[in-house]
Chains A and B, each alone.
Chain A
Amino acid sequence: MSFQLKIITIVTVACIICTGTAMYIASQEAQVEGEQSLINKGEAILTRLEASRDYVANQGLLRETIADLVQKYPNGDLPEEQKQKVLNVVPIYASLKIGMKNARKDKYKFRVAARDARRKTNEANELERSFLERFEEDPDLKQITYKDKEKNAMWVMRPVRLSEDQGCLECHGAPSTSPFGNGQDILGFKMENWKDNKLHGMFAVISSLEPIQAAVTETNVTLAKWGGGITVAVIAIVFFLLKGPMNILNNISARISSASQRNLQSSDSLKGTAQSVSAASTEQSAAIQETMASMSEMSSMISRTISVAKDTEKMATELNDKTNQGQKVMTGMVDSMNSIKQANERLNEMIGIIKDISSKTNVINDIVFKTQLLSVNASVEAARAGNHGKGFAVVAEEVGNLAQVSGQAAEEIRDMLEKSQRHVEAIVTDTNSRVEEGERVSKDALSSFKEISDGINTIHSYARNVNEATVQQEEGISQISEAMGQMDTASQQNSKMAEQVSLMSGELHHQSQELATLNNETQLLVKGRLDHGPGQFQSPAPQSQPQAQASGGKVLSFFAKGHGPENHAGEAPAGQAPAEPQAPPAQAEANQEPSNFNGTSKPDLSKFKKAL
């Protein structure tokens, strides 16, 4: 049920109640007034009756009439008209008659009730007897009003008491006073021997309540009409008056809802950020420790570097001397190469000589060839000579053979010469190339030596620079170590702050959830239902509590990393307020960690400074 509807309902109900109340009060008042007026009317009538009774009594006609009639009719046998004459002067009868007269016209019923009434119609019924008893009991009671719900009528009753003054006892008195002495009154009724002021009966004016009720109903109808009209008008006015503000309220509620959602997200992301910051600071601490260790290593390295640089400087000087010697040796080698070159030229000359010798073997070959021809021709001649030329043939043949042998020898010589020439040539080319290579190499070596010498000089200067640089490095490292110390404290502060931020984000989360809950409640109030949009919490209270706890647990477990299971036990209990019971352990963790840093890093630093 929306707020607007509620307000309208309230207004409507209020209007209805007001109208109802007005109607009730009005009807009551009308009723009472009507009844009072009826009573007044009754009273007035009864007063008039009493007045008329008194009036009639004051005439004093009754005694006179009785005396007359007693004279006239001493036997007491009165005609009816005489009896009527007597009745007409009886005060109570007069008032009774007056009461009866115009009763219908004036809208009331007149009733006379009496016990032991002379007329049976006037005998009191049970209700009337009760009233009579009341009158009897209290002689001072002048009047009784009674509302008869059964007959829907208002009774106004007054007692009728006997009065001597009014001559009541003339008829109802002691029988001894009977006019005829027979114990009967003038009309022949037995005298009751009543005393003065004896309750004889009562007059009752009974008015119907119906007209009053009709008036009340009419009033009610009018009031209901007016009330209904006013209610409708008020509802319309309220509806139009509330329309604008309700829209604004809805809008605000939606904005609060989205804001609280954003808040929730921001708090979550803040928490995440805080966790990452915390993790980062832990990593940073570790990194700082590592860096410290590295720094001390670096410091020892630097001191080693210094000694190495000094050694290098010394070595460079020695090496420079050696290089100079090498240079000299290389110069000598170049000279040697030149002599080898000259020797090679001589070998070349030798090749020329070998060629000459080779050409001489050609001459030998020529001779051999010719000798062979000659030997063939000699053989031919010997053959022609027949038996005489037989010996010559043998000689010719031998000559031919010798020529052949010498030809072979010459051939061999030539082969050998060619071979040796080739060898020598190969040696010469080889030597030449090697000498050239040697020359080149020695020149290269020489230049290399020069370069080496230059390099060594450079190394020398570098080593000196390295020396200076390492001294500066040492200073730098000491500065870095100071910076590291500062970073260490900073990271400790970081981790503390991250922890605080984490706690605060948990709180923020909690608050934003509370805000969401409030907003939901507001929405529930305003709209009478929940929008199932993003960021609405259907049942915020049971959800938010464990969530908040879980987040608290996360923070805690993060800080409790590597610190035993007792911390995990701390996050287990459910139904606790998330922030307060967990904050002390988290803080304890946070304090523990920095103390760890202090415990390890400070000696590191001192060690490190000592190394410097």
Chain B
Amino acid sequence: MSEAILQTSEQLENDKYLVFRVGTSYYGISLSEIVEVTEKLDTVPTPNTPDHVIGVVNLRGEVITVVDTRHLLGQEKSESHLNFVIVVNTDKGKVAALVDQMIDVRQINKEIIEESTSSIQSEANSHLLGIAKAEDRLIYILRFKDFIQEALSRLNGER
């Protein structure tokens, strides 16, 4: 992190990512996509919704939809592990995405992000910018807002 602090301000703007864990994989999303980060809140379940929509929460007087990233990212379903909420702004308003664990906020240079190969086929594939090779692990860099939005629109389209 101390290295990151020493980076030039231009670089910092583009390269700051929030790293979190869902299941066994690590993901990085740009700070610009995030509204805020909180602890898990009391969720009210909503009927007749797909499996990845858990319900709604009241975040400081605002009711927002809660989605299960484990389900969306094809991980094993387990609500007890989902302890953090990342709030993002979509076209359809704010959405709270439940993740397992916050890791940190770090600088990731564009150079270490490798373009995603077509060999990785998944739900999130279209929104995968690349894979960053950090010193300790591999981090999937996602366009998180588009990923969530598409998931929600797919829900609406189905309706």
> In the complex the two chains form, is A376's CB within 8 Å of B1's CB?
no
Distance between Cα atoms of A376 and B102 in the complex (Å)? 9
Q: Check A383/B9 contact, CB under 8 A, given A373-B102, A376-B102.
A: no
Q: Which of A397-417 contact B (CB under 8 A)?
A: 397-398, 400-401, 404
> In the complex the two chains form, is A400's CB within 8 Å of B38's CB?
no
Residue of A nearest to B39 (CB): A373
Residue of A nearest to B31 (CB): A383
A380 to chain B, nearest CB (A): 5
Q: Does B52 contact A (CB under 8 A)?
A: no
Distance between Cα atoms of A396 and B34 in the complex (Å)? 16
Q: Check A397/B37 contact, CB under 8 A, given A379-B31, A383-B31.
A: no
Q: What is A's interface to B at a CB cutoff of 8 Å?
A: 372-373, 375-377, 379-380, 383-384, 386-387, 390, 393-394, 396-398, 400-401, 404
> In the complex the two chains form, is A379's CB within 8 Å of B16's CB?
yes
The range of chain B's interface size is 20 to 34
Q: Check A387/B13 contact, CB under 8 A, given A373-B102, A376-B105, A380-B34.
A: yes
Bitwise, B26-51 to A at CB < 8 A (1) or not (0) is 00001110111111000000000000
Distance between Cα atoms of A221 and B35 in the complex (Å)? 190
> In the complex the two chains form, is B16's CB within 8 Å of A377's CB?
no
Q: Does B18 contact A (CB under 8 A)?
A: yes
Residue of B nearest to A382 (CB): B31
What residues on B are CB-neighbors of A373 within 8 Å? 37-39, 102
Q: What is B's interface to A at a CB cutoff of 8 Å?
A: 1, 4-5, 9, 12-13, 16, 18, 30-32, 34-39, 102, 104-105
> In the complex the two chains form, is B105's CB within 8 Å of A400's CB?
yes
> In the complex the two chains form, is B104's CB within 8 Å of A400's CB?
yes
> In the complex the two chains form, is A377's CB within 8 Å of B37's CB?
yes
> In the complex the two chains form, is A390's CB within 8 Å of B12's CB?
yes
> In the complex the two chains form, is B32's CB within 8 Å of A383's CB?
yes
Distance between Cα atoms of A398 and B104 in the complex (Å)? 12
Q: Check A386/B5 contact, CB under 8 A, given A373-B37, A373-B39.
A: no
CB contact between B1 and one of A372, A384, A387, A401 (< 8 Å): that residue: A401
The 30 listed contacts between A and B (C-beta, < 8 Å) are A372-B102, A373-B37, A373-B102, A375-B105, A376-B37, A376-B102, A376-B105, A377-B37, A379-B16, A379-B18, A380-B18, A380-B34, A380-B35, A383-B16, A383-B30, A383-B32, A383-B34, A384-B31, A384-B32, A387-B9, A390-B9, A390-B12, A390-B13, A393-B12, A396-B105, A397-B1, A397-B105, A398-B5, A400-B105, A404-B104
